[in-house]
Structures are given as C-alpha cells and as structure tokens.
Amino acid sequence: MKNPWMSAWLSAANSIAGASRGQMIAEMNKAQTQFIQEWQRAWVDAWLALWFPTSGRGK
C-alpha cells in the first residue's frame, strides 16, 4: 500500500528540484556563452597583434 503523504512530499520535492535544475542550466549556459565570447575576442586580438603589430588593435 502506498503512503499518500510520502507521495505528496516526493512530488513537491521533485517539482522544486526541476525548477532549480532549470535555473542552474540557464545560468551555466549564460556563463558558457560569455566565456566563449571573451575567449574569441582575446584570440582575434592576439592574431591581429601578430599579423599587424603596428596597428595598435591587438593589445
């Protein structure tokens, strides 16, 4: 026989876990996108500094 109180408690815990999991994934995606953009910008600046050392762009 199932315990209805345990079932209700687990259902509530699962819904809370799902909501927090969604927030964590969204925050991780945002941080990852920001990291990739900063890395690409640094990479392009480094290559421009190598190819055009007198242009002043790649610092």
Q: Between vectors from CA 16 to CA 20 and to CA 31, what angle results, nearest 5°?
A: 5
Q: For residue range 31-56, what is the model confidence (pLDDT) as tens digits?
A: 999 999 999 999 999 999 899 888 76
Indicate whether 51 belongs to any domain.
yes
Identify the helix (H) or strand (E) that includes residue 16: helix 4-51
Length of the chain: 59
Q: For residue range 5-29, what is the model confidence (pLDDT) as tens digits?
A: 998 899 999 999 999 999 999 999 9
- Rounded Cα gap, residues 57 and 51, in angstroms: 11
The model's pTM: 0.62
Nearest to 11 by CA among 3, 22, 1: 3
Count of structural domains, the chain = 1
Indicate whether 36 belongs to any domain.
yes
Indicate whether 5 belongs to any domain.
no
Indicate whether 12 belongs to any domain.
no
Indicate whether 53 belongs to any domain.
yes
* Residue span of the structural domain in which 57 resides: 25-59
